[in-house]
Structure 1
Amino acid sequence: MSITLDFNGKNIAKSNELELHFLPAKIDGDGEANVDHYFNNYTREATEFGRGILTNALRGYPLMGEKLKVPEGYSGLVLQETEKPISNSSDRQLRLTGVFKDFTYWNYDKVPSNGDPYRQALFLADVAQALSQPISEDDLEAEIVRNKENNKESP
């Protein structure tokens, strides 16, 4: 199975900026929704839980969320499958439908925290960048000396 992405860098710059929400729900349908009228109008800031924490409800279930930014140097892309695959091993083609710089991440009745998978995924971009930075010989030698000193001090 192969996946083909149908866009180029120029398309990203020209794509429309989307307001994106990640909801902890499966909604059977892919049609238009009047999100501004039926959802965004009811979003409130819940300052009692901390700065930037939002509340709302979906189908009677309380939601708590926050806006998360796409890490510096990255772009958020929304890709849509052009045709439904015949089987799991079929080739797939995705096309760019929009871009985003931030999105609202929602939990059911739980304040967002560093333990949430989406927050951890965004944090991994920073970890990967730190791990991929080159280390100079001077930094390496200084770290070796620091480790030797720490080993001498510990019993």
Structure 2
Amino acid sequence: MGGGDEESSHSSQPATVDLSLDSPAVVDLTGKVHRLPCCIKYDGPTSVSNYFKPKPTEMEVDGLPVEEAYFRGRKLHGTTIALPQGYSGFILGKKSDVKEGHNTASDCWETNATFQNVTVWNHDAMPSKDDAFLRVFHWFTVANADERGQMIIQAKDLNIVWGRDDRYWTVPNKENLAELHQVSWLEVTGSVNGINPSKIYEVGFRLSFTPDAFGWGSSPIYIMVKRGKYGKFASRKFVLDPYAIRQFEITVMLGKAEKPDQDTNNQKLYFGLYEVWSGKWKGGLKIHHAIIKELV
């Protein structure tokens, strides 16, 4: 009877999750977490690094650097995705209750490891931003909506032509912004899923200039936005003032879809910031973030 009462008392305890990182046993697995396109009927330790050896390639798809590996003789292509700023990955394990010299599983979980990125692998296709797993990361954008209901896309999550070359850009810089040093071709794009085809949206960028900005007076810049891959662009032209001291926003309106109920592509919004026509060099621009706001 006593044993039964003890078991009943134990099972009535609420389940808990401890995400603290204080324990020295917590391991950092950044760069070692992989999502494979297969089912492995095994759960436990193994010498993964002895057999699974990813390596970089010189290819890039949708701005994603492509990696290559082999698993059981099958060639895989993948890409490593950093978790959004402010987020971490956790690997949990059940705590053990030690009572009277016996270890028993509890309903309490603790952190065994953390990670800041994950490598996603495909077997028969190159990685793409349209992959189902990668599209999940668009919902972090929705979670970052500010108090006014705006979706905020951080500069590091935008696709910036030449953005990985520090001769032209620093992404992100010390302020977590995208800072332009010099380019003659400015192209900054992004996309989000889950927009409402029956709503009007305001899309734009928050910008500022460095004290040594140059080349903007004779180089108008455009914001362009559309619904779906084959939608019509809405655009707006701006002549920027490189002597502006404070941050400022430039925006464009996107109307309702013409046939909101007939095309699921209307639920994806593409947007961009462009100056690709003048061929003139320009620099000193800071991109703080992109903004997408649902209106009516």
TM above 0.5, yes or no, is: yes
1:127 aligned residue:
142
What does the per-residue CA deviation read over 1:100-148, in whole Å, with 9 as the maximum and x for residues that have no partner? 0111111112111111122111221012213xx1229xxxxxx7xx87x
Match among 43, 56, 60 for residue 45 of structure 1: 56
Name the CA distance, whole Å, in 2 between partners of 1:126 and 1:31.
34
2:128 aligned residue:
113
Taking a change above 3 Å as real, the CA distance of residues 24 and 11 of structure 1, as seen in their structure-2 partners, is: farther
Q: What does 1:25-104 align with in structure 2 at a 5 Å threshold?
A: 25-40=38-53, 43-50=54-61, 52-80=65-93, 94-104=109-119
Name the CA distance, whole Å, in 1 between partners of 2:24 and 2:130.
33
Q: What does 1:138-149 align with in structure 2 at a 5 Å threshold?
A: none
Secondary structure of the residue that 1:78 maps to in structure 2? strand
Q: Can you give the 5+ residue segments of structure 1 that lack an aligned partner in the other structure?
A: 84-91, 137-142, 151-155
What does the per-residue CA deviation read over 1:13-45, in whole Å, with 9 as the maximum and x for residues that have no partner? 9721012111111111122221221112xx222
Partner amino acid, structure 2, of 1:38: Y
Name the CA distance, whole Å, in 1 between partners of 2:59 and 2:134.
21
Name the CA distance, whole Å, in 2 between partners of 1:5 and 1:67.
31
Match among 10, 13, 17 for residue 28 of structure 2: 17
Q: Contact 2:34–2:120 (CA<8 Å) still a contact in 1? A: yes
Taking a change above 3 Å as real, the CA distance of residues 121 and 45 of structure 1, as seen in their structure-2 partners, is: same
Q: Which has the higher contact order (CA 8 A, sep 6+)?
A: 1
Identity among equivalent positions (%) equals 25
TM-score with structure 1 setting the length: 0.66
Runs of 4+ in 1 over 2 A off after TM superposition: 3-6, 8-15, 48-51, 79-83, 92-96
Q: Contact 1:49–1:111 (CA<8 Å) still a contact in 2? A: no
Name the CA distance, whole Å, in 1 between partners of 2:24 and 2:135.
27
Name the CA distance, whole Å, in 2 between partners of 1:81 and 1:27.
22
Partner amino acid, structure 2, of 1:73: G
TM-score with structure 2 setting the length: 0.37
Q: Contact 1:61–1:109 (CA<8 Å) still a contact in 2? A: no
Taking a change above 3 Å as real, the CA distance of residues 16 and 124 of structure 1, as seen in their structure-2 partners, is: same
Q: Contact 2:19–2:111 (CA<8 Å) still a contact in 1? A: no
1:7 aligned residue:
18
Taking a change above 3 Å as real, the CA distance of residues 82 and 106 of structure 1, as seen in their structure-2 partners, is: farther
Taking a change above 3 Å as real, the CA distance of residues 39 and 124 of structure 1, as seen in their structure-2 partners, is: same
Alignment RMSD (CA, Å): 3.3
Secondary structure of the residue that 2:28 maps to in structure 1? coil
1:153 aligned residue:
none
Q: Contact 2:25–2:112 (CA<8 Å) still a contact in 1? A: no
Name the CA distance, whole Å, in 1 between partners of 2:42 and 2:60.
33
Name the CA distance, whole Å, in 1 between partners of 2:21 and 2:141.
26
